[in-house]
Amino acid sequence: MSYAIFRSEPIQTLSDLAQIGSHNKREKQAYKSNPNIRLELSKDNIDIVPCNNRYVKQFYEITKEYRKEHDEKMKTTRKERQKSFRDMVNDSKSVVADELLFTSDTFFFKDMKKEEIIRWANTCMDFVYQDLGYIKEQVLHATIHMDEKTPHLHCVVVPLVRKLDKRTNTEKYSISKKQYIRDKIHLSELQDKYHDRMVKNSFDLQRGIKNSDNIHLSMKEMKKMTRKQDRRLEQQEYRLTNIYDSLSTKINNRKYKIIGNKVQMDKDTFYEVEKFMKQAKAVIEETPKTMALYHELYSYTKNYKDLEKEKQNIQYEVNNLKHQNEKLQQENNSLHTLLHHILQTLKFMFRKILHLGTEKEKDIVTNEVIDYYNHDFYNRQDVEDICKDTSKQEEINQKLHFCQEKDCEREF
């Protein structure tokens, strides 16, 4: 009994998105020491919706109209409230993306050919498009991992929507997972639809246990259910044993008449036999249900462990990347301090050249200063300090004004 497993994992920040991208595209050296990922099989991973960019860059591509709308809004926003697009989406209460995971157990994929696995994945993508409601332009990446114990499909989507802003009565861009998965009740309904789609496409899969934290019972719930079943079996065994012992005692302590092919017994013993038979029948009738439940729990346990391993792999990578990020942040701070000192020294040198240099040298410095401004190395005040009371002051100020009129876009 294999299950149709679908779960949704929110991605809260662009840094998290970058880490998910490194995992899904197998870009980190850490995988060489990860026993759950067989790198020699990574070449067999299958892109259903390719992503040729880094995840964050592809996110910017998907949300470019949203970014333009945001940048335009910032022009009329008070300076102390202005935020870059990156900071805005990171600080939002919503997600930046959502990762959808589709899988089953090893038995389901056993001996399944590549073409059939791709058909299964395309059926999953039909669910993404037709039941969840995403369009292909919102899919950042969809890939099948074939290099782990159980094949599974990662599908990263950006829930970008246009919503009515009631305050301004205009439509604006927003990222909202709730437009696609409203709550746990809706998620359960979607899992019904996912299972139905699998069955209609000839995939022999069972619906997962409902109300079980998206796709599976938690270990606490599973242990509780198992303990409850164990108590039921103990009670049945206790009642059956008691009746058997009582019946055995009566049979051994009494004499019976044998008439032909029949045995004559007293009324009390007959009722005891009847009672034993009823209890035995109840146990026999309950046995298939008990076996089915244990089979279900066993299968779910395997699925749970597979998913837990996947979660542990990602957590291991996240922790490793956090450590690397801290080191890079320290290096970045040091470089930032060094760059600041260099730029301040250059300001002094540029100003000296604008005062004492040749016309050719002054022209070169003028272009350099404007270029530094366009790349955010200097702000307007820095440029004004450099050219103040020099022969190039008017020319530089005109070029600054020209840049502002064109609303030069700067990269983060």
Range of the domain at 65: 3-215
86 lies in the same domain as 160 = yes
Beta carbons of 173 and 106 less than 8 angstroms apart: no
Q: How far is it, in rounded angstroms, from Cα 122 to Cα 31?
A: 27
Amino acid 139: pLDDT: 96
Is there a single domain that holds both residue 245 and residue 279? yes
User: What's the angle, vertex CA 102, arms to CA 193 and CA 298, rounded to 5?
Assistant: 95
Sheet arrangement for strand 97-103: 46-49, 139-145, 152-157, 97-103, 3-11, 206-207
**pLDDT, position 287:** 62
Instruction: Look at the chain and report how many structural domains it folds into.
Output: 3
**Residue 16 and residue 153 in one domain:** yes
Rounded Cα distance between 284 and 231, Å, is: 17
Domain boundary among 215, 231, 262: 215
**Per-10-residue mean pLDDT, the chain, length 412:** 85 91 79 68 91 93 93 88 90 90 89 94 96 94 91 94 83 91 90 93 79 47 60 66 69 66 71 73 64 60 65 71 80 84 88 89 89 84 89 86 58 40
Give yes or no: residues 94 and 174 share one domain.
Answer: yes
Spatial neighbors of 66 by CB under 8 A, at least 6 apart, are 85, 160, 173, 174, 175
375 plus 399 within the same structural domain: yes
Q: Are residues 207 and 233 in the same domain?
A: no
Query: Would you say residue 320 lies in a domain?
Result: no
CATH code of 40's domain = 3.30.930.30
Last residue of a domain, one of 215, 240, 271: 215
What's at 248, amino acid-wise? S
Same domain, 27 and 108: yes
pLDDT at 412: 39
> Of 192, 215, 238, which one is at a domain's C-terminal end?
215
Q: Are residues 29 and 163 in the same domain?
A: yes
pTM over 0.75: no
Q: What's the pLDDT score for residue 67?
A: 93
